[in-house]
Amino acid sequence: MRNGKASDWWRGAVIYQIYPRSFMDSNGDGIGDLPGITSRLEHVTSLGVDAIWVSPFFRSPMKDFGYDVADYRQVDPMFGTLEDFDALLARAHSLGLKVMIDQVLSHTSDQHAWFAASRASREGPHADWYVWADPRPDGTPPNNWLSVFGGSAWQWDSRRRQYYLHSFLVAQPDLNFHCPAVQDALLDEVRFWCERGVDGFRFDACNHQFHDAGLRDNPPAAASAIGEVSTVRADNPYAMQRHLYDKSQPENLAFLERLRALLDSYGAVGLGEVGDENAPPVMAQYTERGRRLHLAYSFSLLTTEHSAGHLRRQVQALDDALQRTDGWGCWAVSNHDVPRVSSRWNGNGQADVRRDKLWLALLLSLRGSACIYQGEELGLPEAEVPFERLQDPYGRAFWPEFKGRDGARTPMPWQAEAGNGGFNDGQIEPWLPLYEPHLPLAVDRQSQDPQSMLSFSRELLAWRRRQPLLKSGHLRFLDAPEPFLCLERYDGDEVLQAVFNLSDQRATLRLDKMLVPLAGSPFLGARMDGDLALELPPYGVYMGVPIDAAA
C-alpha cells in the first residue's frame, strides 16, 4: 500500500491503452487475457511509454465487453484470476511501467447484485441505488432522454412497475449518485484496487455520474452542432439533443472531490473520460487546481474532421479552458470506441506510413498527456469485419451505415507468418477475425525495418523524453494557411516550434524566423532556404528552435 499524493509522473506522460480481449491470448481460447498482457509487456516497454491503461477485465456478462460490470472486485474467468492481475502488476512495475485500470462507476450490469436487489422492491435497502421513475400518465417514459446507443434511455421494469435509466445499453442501468450509499459503495470499490497497488484509474463516462433530479427534458440541439465534436454519429438521435440534464451535472464536482481525496491517500492518479458536446469547460472543472481528477480527456480529436483549422480550434479551446483552472488534459487520436486514425483521417483512401507518423508526432507535441491505443504504433488501419462476425451491439444496431467499433478491436498482429498473427497458438480462431492486411504490419516484421511505423514510434518517444518542453511547456499556435499547422511549446525564453504539413503534397511555408533543428530529431526531408522558406514533403513534420531563441 502506498500513501501520500501521487508524484507528477502523469504530467506529459504517454499512456498505452490495452484492450485485453484483443491484445494477446495466452491459453488459446480465442480471447486475450491478463497472462497474455504480461507476456507482451516487453513490447510496451520498448516503445518508451510511461504507463499502461488496461480496459475492463472484471466479471461481466459482456453485453458491452466488460463495460457492464457485474462484480468490481473479481476478474472475469475469461481473462484469468486476481493472482494473474497481481502478476501483471508486479511485472509492469519491474519494467518501470505504471498501471492504470478502467473503473466504470456511472452504471453497472443488470446482472450486478446491487441491481437485482434494487429491482426487487421499492422498499428495500437498495431501492434507490439506481435511477427509477414512474411513467407519465399515458405510460410513456418520464422524459425525452436518449441512450447513446440509440432510442429511449428508459426501460420499463414490470417488477417495480417503473422505468429505469440506462444512458448506454438496456443491460447497463445507471447508478443513482444522489444516493449517499451509492457514492460510499463505489469509493470502496476504488479503494479495493488502490489497496492492490494500482497506480491509477481511467474513469469511464465520468460526467454521466449524476442526472438532473427533476428529470427535465433535454432541449433540441442546433442543427449546426450535431456531430461536430462527438463520436456519436449525426444519424443517431442522441446527437439531436443538447444534453443539459442527463449528464455533466454540478453535483458531480463534490463527488469528484471525495474521489480525489481517496486517490491522494494512496498516491493514485485519476484520468476522466468526458463525453460532452462542450467538453473543455467540463474538463477544466473536473481537473481544477488539483481538487478533483488529475487529468481528463475528451473526444475532440476522435472525429473524422482533421483540417488544420479544426485541430487548432479544438486544441486551443481546451488549452484555454485548462489554463484558466490550472487543469491538465490528455489527448488521443484513437481508442477502442472509434475507427483507427490511420483510416479515419485518410483523405485519399490509400495507406501511407508518412501520414501515420505525422499523426503520432502531432499527438506527442500537444500540451498535456497522451494515450496511444494498441496497434497505433504499427499504423494499423481500421479492419473490415463482416456483419456475421460483428460482436458490437452498437454496430449491429446501426448497420450498415455504421459498422460499429469492432474494426478497431481486432487482434494485435505479433508475427506475420504465425497462425492468427501470433495472437494465440493458431488453433482457435479469435473472437474477432484477424484482419489479413494487418499481417504485413506485424510487430516482428516492423521491428526489422528501420523505416517502419514501429521503429519511428520508438525513436520518436525516446526523442520526446529528451525534450522537456514537449512534456510540460506551454502552448501557442502561430497563424499559418492550410494545410499547415504551426505551434510552439515554450517555457520562459525556451521555445520549440513545430510545423506540420497535413496534405499529401509537397508544400512551402514562409516563416518569420530561421528554425535550427533539434539534435537527434527524427524528422527528415524538410528544407529551409535563406529566405526563410520551409519546404516540407507530403505529411512532413519539422521541429526546431527559432534562431534568436537558440542564440
**pLDDT band per the 50, 70, 90 thresholds, residue 498:** very high
- Write down which residue in 464, 490, 513 finishes a domain: 464
- For 180, list phi and psi in degrees, rounded to 5: -55, -35
What sign does the CA torsion over 297, 300, 301, 302 have?
Answer: positive
**pLDDT band per the 50, 70, 90 thresholds, residue 2:** low
Is residue 301 located within the same domain as residue 372? yes
pLDDT of residue 224: 60
Is residue 222 located within the same domain as residue 345? yes
Is residue 483 located within the same domain as residue 459? no
Q: Give the domain range for residue 66.
A: 8-109+180-464
Task: Kindly give the interhelix angle for 82-94 and 180-196, rounded to the nearest 10 degrees.
Answer: 60
Q: Is residue 211 a part of any domain in this protein?
A: yes
In the annotation, is 417 catalytic?
no
**pLDDT band per the 50, 70, 90 thresholds, residue 519:** confident
Is residue 453 located within the same domain as residue 484? no
Q: Is residue 140 a part of any domain in this protein?
A: no
- Cell numbers standing for residue 465: 523524453
**pLDDT band per the 50, 70, 90 thresholds, residue 550:** very low
**pLDDT band per the 50, 70, 90 thresholds, residue 223:** confident
Cα separation of 182 and 261, whole Å? 17
- 122-171 pLDDT per residue, tens: 999 999 999 999 999 999 999 999 999 999 999 999 999 999 999 999 99
Is the Cβ–Cβ distance between 409 and 393 less than 8 Å? no
Is residue 45 located within the same domain as residue 105? yes
> Average pLDDT, stretch 92-107?
98
pLDDT tops 90 at residue 525? no
pLDDT of residue 400: 86
Q: Is residue 115 a part of any domain in this protein?
A: no
Is residue 99 located within the same domain as residue 248? yes
Q: What percent of the chain has pLDDT over 90?
A: 87
In the annotation, is 273 catalytic?
yes
Is the Cβ–Cβ distance between 67 and 105 less than 8 Å? no
Considering only residues 226 and 91, tell me which one the structure prediction assigns the higher pLDDT: 91
Is residue 373 located within the same domain as residue 247? yes
> Average pLDDT, stretch 108-116?
98
Residue from 346, 348, 336 nearest 372 by CA = 336
Q: Is residue 526 a part of any domain in this protein?
A: yes
Q: Is residue 42 a part of any domain in this protein?
A: yes
CATH number at residue 511: 2.60.40.1180
pLDDT tops 90 at residue 463? yes
- 290-310 pLDDT per residue, tens: 999 999 998 899 999 999 999
Is residue 351 located within the same domain as residue 277? yes
Mean model confidence pLDDT for the chain: 94
Domain count of the fold of the chain: 2
Q: Is residue 431 a part of any domain in this protein?
A: yes
pLDDT of residue 326: 97
Q: Is residue 103 a part of any domain in this protein?
A: yes
> Average pLDDT, stretch 107-115?
98
pTM of the model: 0.96
Considering only residues 236 and 219, tell me which one the structure prediction assigns the higher pLDDT: 219
Q: Where are the beta strands (DSSP E) in 245-291?
A: 269-273
Is residue 454 located within the same domain as residue 536? no
The alpha carbons of the chain give a radius of gyration, in whole angstroms, of 23
Q: Which of 273, 319, 377, 392 is catalytic?
A: 273
Is residue 437 located within the same domain as residue 495? no
pLDDT of residue 228: 45
DSSP 8-state code for residue 271: E
Task: Kindly give the interhelix angle for 453-465 and 353-363, rounded to the nearest 10 degrees.
Answer: 20
Is residue 459 located within the same domain as residue 412? yes
pLDDT tops 70 at residue 3? no
CATH number at residue 235: 3.20.20.80
For β-strands 162-165 and 132-133, DSSP reports them as antiparallel
pLDDT tops 60 at residue 102? yes
> Average pLDDT, stretch 213-240?
79
pLDDT tops 50 at residue 551? no
Q: Which of 64, 102, 204, 406 is catalytic?
A: 204
Q: Is residue 171 a part of any domain in this protein?
A: no
